[in-house]
Structure 1
Amino acid sequence: MTQYLEFDFNIEPVEPWSEILMAELIELGFDSFTEKNNGILAYIQSDLFNEEALKIKSLLNHQEVKVSYTFKKMPNINWNEEWEKNFQPINVENKVLIRAEFHQPQGFEEEIIIQPKMSFGTGHHATTYLMIQQMLDMDFKGKKVLDMGCGTSVLAIYAGKKGASDILGIDIDEWAVENSRENAERNNISMRVELGTADQLDTTLYDIILANINRNILISDIPRYVKVLKPGGQLLLSGLCFFDEEDILQVCEGQKLRLHKKLQREEWISLLLSK
């Protein structure tokens, strides 16, 4: 059974810095968070933890906020059962419901059923919400779609429900590939899922590319996305905090992408661009 570490971060002041710290921790491999009055609890697999990398993160050395932490090993218990006790359905604009199999249907226009194989679940939902919110008004009928960093494949599945004809999900984690295939089957969506990164993209062109990842990966991979995006195609990005916007748009402008729509939820943003 996977050994996890629990980090207890005290943050002063808590707002808006707790969300910013979570964004930085995600880049280091932390996969779930719980808010508390004076900070957050954060969780990471022990074999992924790099204390030196944590110590140099910008927020731990920022003049406007004070961050301290302690950590401990977590007991080896069934975290999937713990996830089931705490996971709440995600309601996007009263139109799309993201729920687990053990939740009852609620009569939404679309319901996406997932069962993550992660030890702690999805961590935060704001970026998933933003991506689905953007997708509500997008045309997927007959489109060829690429979901980069697909995770549980919520986005790819929703694209399929909106009529996408050809869907590929790619993720760097083996659990995500297996989980995506199972979730696609749960939702009666036909899609392919591959293990890998943007480096393996070939000459196949896509109408729509979805990428809910993080700032550093997006900055590195946006040029690769543009190469496989059809003229007039759409690129939808999230996994970004509000302070990432300038850097991301600078890369996008360098690739001659045009910004069409920006949405923000809490400290997180999503950007819809076209080629």
Structure 2
Amino acid sequence: MSAQNYIGYHFKFSPLQPAVDILIAELAEVGFESFVEEDDGLSAYIQTSDWQEDILGDIQILNERTFDISYTLEDIEQTNWNETWEKNFNPIVVDDLCAVRAPFHEKFDTQFDIVIEPKMSFGTGHHETTHMMIQHILKNDFQDKTVLDMGCGTAVLAILAELKGAKAVDAIDIDRWCYENSLENIERNNCKNISVFEGDASLLKGKCYDIILANINRNILLQDIKAYVKCLTKNGILILSGFYNDDIPKIQTECETHLLKFQEKLERNQWVALKFLN
């Protein structure tokens, strides 16, 4: 993978919603590739080659008095990112069944042991949404299922799906670094049944899945639920996360519009992960 330098913007704002979703949408329009939602704001990353000094000039939300928004920025080299991550990354264990750790951590005595090196990708299990998605996977039957991991990040969910017996898994992410990092992590975990694609929901035409995992953000989910349903088998499972408890009515209404039936909710620090049945 070729090394790329990134510039990171660290936004602090109040109130968080709906500011975070609006800001992500506007930043994506001007070339920002990766986003990490935080307790009091958002970190957003853009390749140095795509950056220009007035990059925030067209970001309308920054000029709205409704929100109090400030930010700082920093240059990030890939090597520096990795060093920072290694200093701060601690292994996690989900429900005493699944460990997610770095290559330099000792192996855990758990049923599932996943080794992840995220680099500039996101989805190590530490964020509430990834943690809950892992919980949903652990609770459901994946044996001989076809699975989609949409917005795969590090591919941790796709890897766990294969470890749980999935016969074929597609992992898709629009971010180039996530795509390349997913390939690395799949090889690192000796997975054989996962295919990785760079792109968005337009890649789903003609596809068919028993289980779809989508941990993205509210606006993208609302936009793409229709596409998910089109490629979901009868009695198939759709598991969604990347949004707050307050967003449930919109997500659930959109799902029920497409005749999905609500099954289960997991909640962690106001973040939620919902399971629907086709």
TM-score of the alignment, normalized to the shorter chain, above 0.5? yes
Gaps of 5+ in 1: 12-16
Q: Which residue of 1 aligns with 2:213?
A: 210
C-alpha change, 1:255 and 1:61, in structure 2 (3 Å) is: same
Structure 1 counterpart of 2:83, which letter?
E
Q: Which residue of 1 aligns with 2:169?
A: 167
Question: After TM superposition, which residue ranges in structure 1, 4 or more long, deviate above 6 angstroms?
Answer: none
CA distance in 1, matches of 2:234, 2:76: 52
Structure 2 counterpart of 1:74, which letter?
D
Say which is worse superposed, 25-34 or 134-143, in terms of deviation. Answer: 25-34
Q: Which residue of 2 aligns with 1:55?
A: 61
Question: Does residue 31 of structure 2 align to residue 31 of structure 1?
Answer: no
Q: CA RMSD in A?
A: 2.8
CA distance in 1, matches of 2:44, 2:223: 26
Q: Which residue of 2 aligns with 1:42?
A: 43
C-alpha change, 1:231 and 1:22, in structure 2 (3 Å) is: same
Following superposition of structure 1 onto structure 2, how do residues 66-215 of structure 1 map, counting pairs within 5 Å? 67-74=68-75, 78-118=80-120, 125-190=127-192, 191-215=194-218
**TM-fit CA distance, 1:119:** 7.3
CA contact (8 A) 1:33 1:123 kept: no
Q: Alignment partner of 1:262: what SS?
A: strand
CA distance in 2, matches of 1:91, 1:21: 32
CA contact (8 A) 1:7 1:43 kept: yes
C-alpha change, 1:119 and 1:98, in structure 2 (3 Å) is: closer
CA distance in 2, matches of 1:6, 1:98: 27
**TM-fit CA distance, 1:203:** 2.0
Q: Which residue of 2 aligns with 1:247?
A: 250
**TM-fit CA distance, 1:151:** 1.1
CA distance in 1, matches of 2:219, 2:76: 32
Structure 2 counterpart of 1:142, which letter?
D
Q: Which residue of 2 aligns with 1:230?
A: 233
Say which is worse superposed, 201-210 or 121-130, in terms of deviation. Answer: 121-130
CA contact (8 A) 1:19 1:267 kept: no
Q: Alignment partner of 2:139: what SS?
A: coil
Question: Does residue 13 of structure 2 align to residue 7 of structure 1?
Answer: no
Say which is worse superposed, 148-157 or 76-85, in terms of deviation. Answer: 76-85
CA distance in 1, matches of 2:119, 2:58: 28
Q: Alignment partner of 2:249: what SS?
A: helix
**TM-fit CA distance, 1:172:** 0.9
Aligned length: 262
CA distance in 2, matches of 1:141, 1:175: 29
Q: Alignment partner of 1:216: what SS?
A: helix
**TM-fit CA distance, 1:109:** 1.7
CA distance in 2, matches of 1:189, 1:82: 27
Structure 1 counterpart of 2:116, which letter?
I
CA distance in 1, matches of 2:20, 2:114: 26
C-alpha change, 1:198 and 1:33, in structure 2 (3 Å) is: closer
C-alpha change, 1:259 and 1:119, in structure 2 (3 Å) is: closer
CA contact (8 A) 1:147 1:169 kept: yes
C-alpha change, 1:118 and 1:57, in structure 2 (3 Å) is: farther
**TM-fit CA distance, 1:255:** 0.1
